[in-house]
Amino acid sequence: MGQRFSTDILVIGGGAAGLSAALHLAGHARVTVLCKGDVESASSHWAQGGIAAVTDPEDDFDAHVHDTLNAGAGLCDQEVVAQTVARAPEIIRQLVDWGVEFDRSENEYHLTREGGHSHRRILHVADATGKALTHTLTDKVLDHPNIELFTDRVAIDLINLSKFGRHPNRCAGAYVLNRSTNHVEVFQAHFVILATGGASKVYLYTSNPDSSTGDGIAMAWRAGCRVANMEFNQFHPTCLFHPHAKSFLISEAVRGEGGILCLPSGERFMERFDSRLELAPRDIVARAIDHEMKRLGLDCVYLDISHRPRSFINSHFPTIAKRCADFGIDMANEPIPVVPAAHYTCGGVVIDGTGASDVPGLYAVGEVSCSGLHGANRLASNSLLECLVFGEAAANDIKRRLEEPRWDVNVPQWDESQVVDSDEDVIIAHNWEELRRFMWDYVGIVRTDKRLQRAQRRIDLLKQEVHEYYSNYRVTNDLIELRNLIHVAELIVRSALARKESRGLHYTLDHPETMSRADDTILFPGSMDRLDVLQPVFS
């Protein structure tokens, strides 16, 4: 039988969002942080480019706001954008205070520029900003006496008090699989923060680590939260193309520093698609590459920065240069083969300005959420910023509520009496592969109604199979993730079918025009019929 744990605040996720929320809370309450694996299981660890913030006197908040709104294609919440941008310099000061050492040149921060930004405003630690950030925050978390960090824990479902007698609708923890013991544990808490990251693993090719299986979005949806804008999946234009280079990203900063996209013939092609060339927003660059690859039947295109001196490349892109060298590619001397890959989930759990979801006691911060910052397309390097701004906002709101009355409920243990060990794990492996492949083929960079409907029919079948499996067999990590991925895939397809236009990251050949009115796609739990209703989320 699994163990029971009790805490004030349960943070599910140990990336930038979860760790920063935990650190802001630890001076006020007991905090428990769960993550699936170690610190490297978070996308945050792999972030290369950096964090967007106005720190240069030549730059200003209006320009950062303008760039964010521009990328978001009419769907950003302007108030959220303005508040996030204005908070960014303070967030940077906080990180420096916690020990993050951003690159400097001559006593100023060294700033890079990425696609969609009108100024150099990305603070970074060489090309491994996420690693520096997560290691620093993890060390602080481990040092703090009020925070307990549990690794190898997979949250399965959220606990709602209303399920146990006459108690209010309130989130009070989670059932969690301990991957070491294979037992399901109960983590009871007065507040829960979901910080589980995105869902890019729903696609065959992704830049994300294995943890990005949309667990938080699926759990919140099952728990009764609205989910919004799931059709907006950002595909990073440039992942390293090599049979053994799983998920390795070639940062946008390479294009920011003069990298040129070209065909195998050496022909530069972005000028045929956008006047901003390689620094056009990611969706435009990804679609251009997709178009050229399909037009010419290519496996990849090339990104060439070999015109810059080797010393510049080695000092600015040491991680990328090393990784390329591991695969026999000398980026200072030859172009890098690249393909687009699923990179960022713009939609997610609907939250307000404090990170609160629709279910009392439950917050969602970071990539798992839909805060209104990104709209229909995320501006590069705004996502770590969002994690840190909303991690802090959720912590502040919870601090204000710590004295509210609490419910003393003995949550029952996970019931394993009716299930047995699976003897057919091949079904899970097969369904994983099938789901991710048809999502790539039918729900990828360019969509049509017919392909989306085809995907939906396959999802219906998988859902039924996995539901039966889930009801009869003991849960495993792969089964939990597959179940979540199927739920997330359905949310993506339903949202994409509901949007009868092309906007931002959602591009469909059947509705190529952009409507004059911009509305969010909100999915209402418990009523699939309402999935096709478009309404402003944040009104």
Catalytic site residues?
Answer: 282
The verdict on 197 binding ligand FAD (CB under 6 A) reads yes
Query: How many whole angstroms separate alpha carbon 203 and alpha carbon 133?
Result: 27
- Count the helix, strand and coil residues of the chain and give each as a percent rounded to the nearest 5: 40, 20, 40
Out of 25, 123, 193, 195, name the contact with ligand FAD by CB under 6 A. 195
Total residues at interface with ligand FAD (CB under 6 A): 44
Closest-CA residue to 240 (of 161, 341, 139, 145) = 341
Query: How many whole angstroms separate alpha carbon 306 and alpha carbon 255?
Result: 12
* Residues sharing a CB contact under 8 Å with residue 369, sequence separation 6 or more, in sequence order: 194, 348, 349, 350, 351, 355, 390
Burial of residue 119 (CB within 10 Å: 0-12, 13-18, 19+) is middle
Contact window for ligand FAD (CB under 6 A) among 7-15, 320-328, 448-456, 502-510: 7-15
Contact window for ligand FAD (CB under 6 A) among 55-63, 349-357, 379-387, 410-418: 379-387
Closest-CA residue to 129 (of 109, 156, 148) = 109
How far is CA 233 from each of CA 26, 172, 282, 505, rounded to the nearest angstrom? Answer: 34, 31, 11, 6
The verdict on 42 binding ligand FAD (CB under 6 A) reads yes
Are 36 and 211 a contacting pair, CB within 8 Å?
A: yes
Out of 11, 21, 31, 34, name the contact with ligand FAD by CB under 6 A. 34
The sign one gets for the Cα dihedral 263, 266, 271, 274 is positive
CB of 52 to ligand FAD, least distance (A): 7
| C-alpha neighbours within 13 Å on the C-beta side of residue 20 | 30
The verdict on 208 binding ligand FAD (CB under 6 A) reads yes
The verdict on 340 binding ligand FAD (CB under 6 A) reads no
Contact window for ligand FAD (CB under 6 A) among 140-148, 266-274, 324-332, 363-371: 363-371
Query: How many whole angstroms separate alpha carbon 199 and alpha carbon 231?
Result: 12
CB of 515 to ligand FAD, least distance (A): 28
Contact window for ligand FAD (CB under 6 A) among 31-39, 101-109, 223-231, 396-404: 31-39
The verdict on 377 binding ligand FAD (CB under 6 A) reads no
CB of 418 to ligand FAD, least distance (A): 23
Query: How many whole angstroms separate alpha carbon 350 and alpha carbon 357?
Result: 6
Please identify, using beta-carbon distances, which residue of 9 and 455 lies nearer to ligand FAD.
9
In the complex, which residue's CB is closest to ligand FAD?
A: 15
Please identify, using beta-carbon distances, which residue of 449 and 478 lies nearer to ligand FAD.
478
Out of 238, 381, 502, 521, name the contact with ligand FAD by CB under 6 A. 381
Q: Which residues bind ligand FAD (CB under 6 A)?
A: 12-18, 34-37, 41-44, 46-51, 129-130, 153-155, 195-197, 207-208, 211-212, 215, 249, 344, 366-368, 381-384, 387
